[in-house]
Chain A
Amino acid sequence: DQQVKQNSPSLSVQEGRISILNCDYTNSMFDYFLWYKKYPAEGPTFLISISSIKDKNEDGRFTVFLNKSAKHLSLHIVPSQPGDSAVYFCAASAPGTGGGADGLTFGKGTHLIIQP
């Protein structure tokens, strides 16, 4: 059962326009959400995060929106640039229990392609 879903395997956007990547989750215990960017043959790199107590977090060209009632978050990139072409993973975590950590639950990723 997939707890974090990215339903679009790929997305093509023209340079300069807005890119919107979507992510849905099912586990109501998730309280921290992250977006990672991954280039081929490299490890994922952290992009932006949001806590469940917020509904928006902005960092330069990147904004993440969280809709808890819909269990949905989205990443907006404005304006899109050629270097943004990569695979974007949505990830979520729940509070650890008993001092443990369950890592991050990842979506399957969306391949963003920025066209010149």
Chain B
Amino acid sequence: NAGVTQTPKFRVLKTGQSMTLLCAQDMNHEYMYWYRQDPGMGLRLIHYSVGEGTTAKGEVPDGYNVSRLKKQNFLLGLESAAPSQTSVYFCASSWTDQETQYFGPGTRLLVL
């Protein structure tokens, strides 16, 4: 039982490049989330999903897209990376919106 895993752990991008961050959970959770953590800012919600095939915007969605084609996977895409997207990205999952969220280990992204 791996819990929540994230791929890759670290990535360097040039401005304008695209990439996809993968989150996988093996707990059969319905809800999945993408957060970013910046120094002095805590964690901020980017997008979330309440089930397979659904996605919704969070607090800071601009510049990101997401997809939830399979229940266990939640993908975060950057179509044209910008230096402002340099951050640590965390994925989380939960049974419901009132249940504890379980986090992955994070993906550190540097955009030059």
Whether A96 sits at the interface, judged by CB under 8 Å, is: yes
Q: A43-B105, A44-B90, A100-B50 are in contact. Are A106 and B97 (CB under 8 A)?
A: no
Contact at A102–B50, with CB atoms within 8 Å? Answer: no
- CB-based contact B58/A46 at 8 Å: no
Given the known A-B contacts A101-B48, A102-B58, A109-B42, are A43 and B4 also in contact in the complex, defined by CB atoms under 8 Å? yes
Total count of chain B residues near the partner, CB < 8 A: 27
Return the contact of A42 from the options B43, B96, B100, B105 (Cβ within 8 A): B105
* Chain A residues, CB < 8 A from B92: 43, 103
Stretch of B12-20, B33-41, B78-86 that contacts chain A: B33-41
Within 8 A of A (CB), among B50-107: 50, 56, 58-59, 90, 92, 96-98, 100-106
Binding site for B on A (CB under 8 A): 4, 32, 34, 36, 41-46, 49, 89, 93, 95-96, 99-109
